[in-house]
Amino acid sequence: MKKTVVLGMSGGVDSSVAAILLKEQGYQVIGLFMRNWDSMLNNDILGNPDLKTHDICPQEEDYNDAVKVCEKLEIPLHRIDFVKEYWDYVFTYFLDELKQGRTPNPDIMCNKYIKFDMFVREAKKLGADYIATGHYARMQDGKLLRGVDQNKDQTYFLSQLSHEQLENVLFPVGDLEKVKVREIAEKYDLITAKKKDSTGICFIGERNFTKFLENYLPNQPGDVVEIESGKIIGKHIGLMYYTIGQRRGLNIGGSKDRMFVVGKDLKKNVLYISYGNTDYLISDSCIIDTVNLNVSLHPERCTAKFRYRQPDNEVELTYLDDGNILVSYPQGVKSVTPGQACVLYVDEQCIGGGIIKEVRKQGKKLWYL
């Protein structure tokens, strides 16, 4: 009997080509479209009927594209709503992190709690032997490996998955370059062949980030301080709208000088900037919590990414008694940011990671972070 694969169909080119590859490999393929966000969010979930949440995410367009692809490939397509679950496990986390002045990555938590947890449960109801997604990653002998296309590798976003969650998972496009994926889609004349890749956070889509958050978190304007002199040079619109190292879109006090964000003081509601001294952006260690290792080995040395598509950094790991990890990088790294993921690698293998809790320099927590 053919093995059954339930494939997460997103309405994009990657999952479309994943379906083709799985069929070519002889699997019985079933598509499952996840609806994780409702632009007209149910008032019973939000408890606030006045929120302006219209036209946030073009999911209906994505669903229609998924329908057309599955019809063309003669694959059955099911649809499941995880709107409330997404709110409970991902969006609430996102808001809580912003309140703490951190820079969260909701896509990582979506993979952990929705795509590789609740999705799997639904897939099993459909008789799945395996689940599959369009992620650029590879599984080999139970190991999570980087995608062949280094520019598209998405293991960073899979770093919170446990070894158990990675069992019976297939990543069909992980062995391909993106250009090859589009060639296959064009060969099959799929509607998604030239579809633009989605960018940013799903529930915000093309909307203005600031306007979107105004619906959920009140703005708390405060002072912008030039860190070297201690002088107030303007006002910020709310610490949640800025991230460490940010240069563009600051619009602070009408200044045209080159400046960048170097820190935040949540208690004083102060945003710190510098006009060119990158020393404030450099740290040499950090502590990560929410630690997840998908392997039994606990290396003392490996490499780490502190942001998606960042080059690998050589690091040393110290395992702390509270379950957290001290990640040291004596060479110094710019813009390591609380709330972002620190993802660990041994050569091509992603062994997991954690969330950056505290950033340090010369053994001391940076006072402005």
Nearest-angstrom CA–CA distance, 342 and 104: 12
Give the residue-averaged pLDDT of 191-205. Answer: 80
Q: How confident is the model at residue 211 (pLDDT cuts 50, 70, 90)?
A: confident
Burial of 1 (0-12, 13-18, 19+ CB in 10 A): exposed
Please list, in sequence order, all residues whose beta carbon lies within 8 angstroms of the beta carbon of residue 123, skipping any fewer than 6 positions away.
Answer: 6, 32, 131
pLDDT in tens, 282-297: 999 999 999 999 999 8
**Predicted local distance difference test score (pLDDT) of residue 207:** 62
350 is catalytic: no
Specify whether the CB–CB gap between 3 and 129 falls below 8 A: yes
Cα–Cα distance measured from residue 77 to residue 55, given in angstroms and rounded to the nearest whole number:
24
- Indicate which residue of 57, 70, 110, 350 is catalytic: 110
Check residue 40 and give its pLDDT: 61
pLDDT category at 53 given cuts 50, 70, 90 is very low
Mean model confidence pLDDT for the chain: 91
| Confidence at residue 258, expressed as pLDDT on a 0 to 100 scale | 82
Q: What is the mean pLDDT of residues 124-142?
A: 97
Amino acid at the residue 339: G
Q: Does pLDDT of 56 surpass 50? A: no
DSSP H stretches of helix in the chain: 13-24, 43-46, 59-73, 83-86, 92-99, 106-110, 119-125, 178-187, 209-214
Burial of 334-363, coded b for 16+ CB within 10 Å and e otherwise, reads: ebbbbbbbbbbbeeebbbbbbbbbbbbbee
pLDDT band at 58; cut points 50, 70, 90: low
Q: Select 4-187's CATH number: 3.40.50.620, 3.30.390.10, 3.40.50.1950, 3.30.470.10.
A: 3.40.50.620
pTM of the model: 0.91
Catalytic annotation on 70? no
Catalytic residue among 202, 286, 302, 350: 202
Q: What is the CATH number of domain 219-276?
A: 2.30.30.280
The residues, ordered by sequence, that sit 6+ positions from 184 with a Cβ below 8 Å of its Cβ are 17, 20, 21, 176
Identify which of 68, 66, 73, 74 has the alpha carbon closest to the alpha carbon of residue 8: 66
Residue whose structure tokens are 């800025």: 242
> Of the candidates 141, 133, 104, which has an alpha carbon nearest to the alpha carbon of residue 117?
133
CB 262 within 8 A of CB 314: no
Q: Locate the domains of the chain by residue range.
A: 4-187, 219-276, 279-365
C-beta contacts of 118-125 below 8 A and 24+ residues apart: 118/82, 118/85, 119/8, 119/32, 119/34, 119/80, 119/82, 120/165, 122/6, 122/32, 122/78, 122/80, 123/6, 123/32
CB atoms inside a 10 Å sphere around CB 282: 16
Q: Which residues pair with 5 in a beta bridge?
A: 29, 130
The model's confidence at residue 200, banded by pLDDT at 50, 70 and 90, is: low
CATH class of 279-365: mainly beta
